[in-house]
Structure 1
Amino acid sequence: MAKKISTKFVCQACGYESPKWMGRCPNCGAWNQMEEEVIADKNNRRSRVSMTGKSAKAQTIQEITVSKIPRVKTKLAELNRVLGGGVVPGSLILIGGDPGIGKSTLLLQVSAQLNDTGGKVLYVSGEESASQLKMSANRLGVKGDNFYIYPETDMAAIRQTIEEIKPDFVVIDSIQTMSQPDVSSVVGSVSQVRESTADLMKIAKTNNIAIFIVGHVTKEGSIAGPKMLEHMVDTVLYFEGDRHHTFRILRAVKNRFGSTNEIGIFEMRNGGLVEVLNPSEMFLEERLAGATGSAVVAAMEGTRPILAEIQSLITPTVFGNAKRTVSGLDHNRVSLIMAVLEKRAGMLLQNQDAYLKAAGGVKLDEPAIDLAIAMSITSSYQEKETRPKDCFIGEIGLTGEVRRVSRIDQRVQEAAKLGFTRIFIPKNNIGGWTFPKDIEVVGVSTITDSIRKAFDNK
């Protein structure tokens, strides 16, 4: 008698599983995303076995010895910092980004640099042929004796090639094109992505191979596939930017071996990606002198202080309800600060349209940017410009107080380095550290105190 084949229905948007088909996924609410898939035979599951045939075993915590994991540094200092100091052997790194943003360019350059350090690299491409990759490599000046190109999508063949070559680093471009022979669903489905990533995780952990995985993103900007994909890997990096502009931002949103929310700034040129060593200067180079609605903040991105410009445009509304539009800032944070300004500073903003953005394409989301947002809104509302060399740092409470922030010394040092002569900080942050000699530090305790000192005594 033939064995009955068991099937299930899986949502291609979120990975929700159901024994029957449903038009609308009860987990994520997506319509017509449930597809039938064959349940894999549990007897075909493989345990973690290394290339040498050694399998994992249970040990007491006293038996396990820990040595400092050596990191492999690339020639891109920005990438090293985002990764927490370099590439960790045996780690699984997921890189997501919009089509054409430069993910393959970045990984081709990184692969060549890792090869220069003495490592053996295997670049697996499921989207380009070997000759096409060679053309890109020639344009970028990429070459190496132990740099292997392998155009393949079958995970069984990739696993066998890894066992034969025994590389130190593997690049999978992209995970959505990989297929498992024992999974019946179509390429790019939730099951295929999940099983391929699980297979790569076993290879990385049991053989101490660092694996880079390229992931496509959805129209909402998140990595395509189940959310489980981001939980399985060690590091999640997002490569952001506008294809019509040259600057790119590499942002870490998860990192088991370093700080999260680190960013690296790159510039796309004809010869590939070049790191930007002074992003603060880049974000401020086009600032218009004497313009109202502009304020500069020293924000922290991970461990790095970055000076960015916050711009506001406050205009009387022509509709019944005032409009609030933001770019690069949190909408709820802007609404909160405008409410505080109206209640505590006496500004009538309920009949004003407000448009705010963080110039340069950077995304700012930390409490220390509150004071700069308030000064930018006040500047546009009162038609009074801030001083070109003023910088604002501080969190604003609902009662109008300016609260202390972290790493104030690093922020002030960055502002002084860029030539700013006056910086507004919370009064409670003064003390316990040494001010730079060439900058005036102004302590403020309330939002009204900040407005008075910033605009009335110019």
Structure 2
Amino acid sequence: MAKEKTSYVCNECGASSPRWLGKCPGCGAWNTLVESAPEPAGGGKNRLGSAFTALAPAAAVQALSAIEAVDVARSPTGQPELDRVLGGGIVEGGVVLIGGDPGIGKSTLLLQALDSLQRSAPAAERGGTLYVTGEESGAQVALRARRLGITGSQVAVLAEIQLEKIIATLAEQKPAVAVIDSIQTVYSDQLTSAPGSVAQVRECAAHLTRWAKSSGCAIVLVGHVTKDGQLAGPRVLEHMVDTVLYFEGDTHSSFRLIRAIKNRFGAVNEIGVFAMTEKGLKGVSNPSAIFLSQHAQPVPGSCVLVTLEGTRPMLVEIQALVDSGGISPRRLSVGLERDRLAMLLAVLHQHAGVATGDQDVFVNAVGGVRISEPAADLAVLLAITSSLRGKALPKGFIAFGEVGLAGEIRPAPRGQERLREAAKLGFSVAVVPKANAPKKSDKAFEGLTIHAVERVDEAMALVRGLD
């Protein structure tokens, strides 16, 4: 039989070309043509079924109020922190994409989760679990399981990278949960491009997603990341899956963070904290403890922030160091936005009279956590002024609040929950926006003195009075 010719489709306008061109003949964009699967003869059928199949069966038109809303069933993974990020567990027919740096622990965590699911009755009754490895051999997976202390595991392992064989195995085994490690190693015979190319990743992920929706098998795709920390492959990969998780953390540290960037079955920006041990990844039930430095006495330049990650309030220590700079002072932040730091320094000078124009300013979030919410503004400014004055903030001091360009301090979402978390952990002094101050006495705030402020200069004067 003659080999079917592939076509190249533009990502920008959809124009097709029989061969690759640097410039799209339709819209003129450069480097946008990617290889696409050919359309087979005979009604658009191929070995995987119809080339275009709906993810859900067709139904009659109904009013939204007439459609019954049914909660999705979830299967706990045996890893409470992973279940928190997923929204309660694995959803039947759901597709999860998890990405992270090499060696950060993606395969380790998923192997532990599959073993727990295999030992649970619901998953075992529905067909068990399947681990498809495209980067290691079965012996290497078994060696890792032995290092993790997993003995007598009945998790089925398949070392394969061809999409057609993987789907045939899924159809034969009918597992409840399957892990594909990784999607960048899988290839389809329909395309001539190498595994990991844009076309291969897109086509393979689309077929696996369609299989998950039609069969009810939950599929977890492991994805590589680029040097910028983004998931490798086409952006459509993140759109077609139900949940996108990012594995974060320094490989030199024992702590790992899993953050939900997208979740159709739960809250986004939820975070799970793990500690890497000799027996694999273990969930950390009180993550605030690892993000707080253990100082015997308060030190200058340190301020504790109550940040919100998803539905979980966490206490993170913000450290600042202000030092005499040269002709061009530096502004460096780790775990915080650098541009926002420059803006806060300008507000500090304009509205509080604290000048740092000739100083080097370094700001760090302890524990490697990344803070993106603006509620960290007030804690950052208090840490900077503490370092500049050389005086430590009072013991048991916390702060949070967004700072505006006019010098006002805006409220942070769910401020009451933040204060309750601080009081529970024994903190005694809090500086918060006026709108976040409790309107009435609450036993949950006993032992916590709350100071409500409206402007930056008011917060600075208050802190000086606490010395």
| TM-score, reference length from structure 2 | 0.89
Q: Is the 8 A contact 1:115 1:144 kept in 2?
A: no
The 5 Å alignment of 1:80-95 reads 80-95=83-98
* 1:100 aligns to 2:118 (yes or no): no
Q: Tell me the CA shift for residue 428 of structure 1.
A: 2.1
**Pair 241,210 (structure 1): closer, same or farther in 2 beyond 3 Å:** same
Secondary structure of 2:336 counterpart: coil
- The one-letter amino acid paired with 1:231 is H
**Pair 254,144 (structure 1): closer, same or farther in 2 beyond 3 Å:** farther
Q: What is the identity percentage for the equivalent residue pairs of Structure 1 and Structure 2?
A: 41
What is aligned with 1:350?
A: 357
Q: Tell me the CA shift for residue 67 of structure 1.
A: 2.9
- The one-letter amino acid paired with 1:439 is L
**CA–CA separation in structure 1 for the residues paired with 2:51 and 2:271:** 34
* 1:169 aligns to 2:170 (yes or no): no
Q: Tell me the CA shift for residue 416 of structure 1.
A: 1.3
What is aligned with 1:139?
A: 147
What is aligned with 1:211?
A: 219
What is aligned with 2:114?
A: 111
Secondary structure of 1:113 counterpart: helix
Range with greater deviation from structure 2 (448-457 or 190-199): 448-457
**CA–CA separation in structure 2 for the residues paired with 1:296 and 1:278:** 16
| 2:369 corresponds to which of 362, 367, 381 | 362
The 5 Å alignment of 1:185-334 reads 185-287=193-295, 289-319=297-327, 321-334=328-341
Q: Tell me the CA shift for residue 287 of structure 1.
A: 4.2
**CA–CA separation in structure 1 for the residues paired with 2:348 and 2:32:** 48
Q: Is the 8 A contact 1:48 1:55 kept in 2?
A: no
**CA–CA separation in structure 2 for the residues paired with 1:71 and 1:438:** 40
What is aligned with 1:448?
A: 457
| 1:130 corresponds to which of 121, 126, 138 | 138
- The number of residues matched between the two structures is 448
**CA–CA separation in structure 2 for the residues paired with 1:245 and 1:2:** 55
Q: Is the 8 A contact 1:15 1:225 kept in 2?
A: no
The 5 Å alignment of 1:57-76 reads 57-61=58-62, 66-76=69-79
Q: Tell me the CA shift for residue 59 of structure 1.
A: 3.0
Q: Tell me the CA shift for residue 406 of structure 1.
A: 1.6
CA RMSD of aligned residues (A): 2.8
**CA–CA separation in structure 2 for the residues paired with 1:377 and 1:273:** 35
Q: Is the 8 A contact 1:217 1:224 kept in 2?
A: yes
Q: Deviations over 1:190-220 (max 9, x none)?
A: 0000000001101110111110100001111
Q: Is the 8 A contact 1:309 1:359 kept in 2?
A: yes
Q: Tell me the CA shift for residue 430 of structure 1.
A: 2.2
Q: Is the 8 A contact 2:7 2:16 kept in 1?
A: no
| 1:414 corresponds to which of 421, 429, 449 | 421
**CA–CA separation in structure 2 for the residues paired with 1:121 and 1:48:** 27
**CA–CA separation in structure 2 for the residues paired with 1:138 and 1:364:** 36
**Pair 185,372 (structure 1): closer, same or farther in 2 beyond 3 Å:** same
Q: Is the 8 A contact 2:34 2:198 kept in 1?
A: no
**Pair 433,107 (structure 1): closer, same or farther in 2 beyond 3 Å:** farther
What is aligned with 1:79?
A: 82
Q: Deviations over 1:83-141 (max 9, x none)?
A: 11111111000010000111000000000111121310010000111111111112223
**CA–CA separation in structure 1 for the residues paired with 2:161 and 2:4:** 29
Secondary structure of 1:348 counterpart: coil
* 1:429 aligns to 2:432 (yes or no): no
Secondary structure of 2:341 counterpart: helix
Q: Tell me the CA shift for residue 145 of structure 1.
A: 6.2
Range with greater deviation from structure 2 (426-435 or 153-162): 426-435
Q: Is the 8 A contact 2:45 2:51 kept in 1?
A: no
**CA–CA separation in structure 1 for the residues paired with 2:195 and 2:237:** 16
**CA–CA separation in structure 2 for the residues paired with 1:431 and 1:260:** 27
Q: Deviations over 1:415-441 (max 9, x none)?
A: 112211111111222244544111111
**Pair 286,56 (structure 1): closer, same or farther in 2 beyond 3 Å:** same
- The one-letter amino acid paired with 2:466 is N
**CA–CA separation in structure 2 for the residues paired with 1:16 and 1:352:** 52
Range with greater deviation from structure 2 (262-271 or 408-417): 408-417
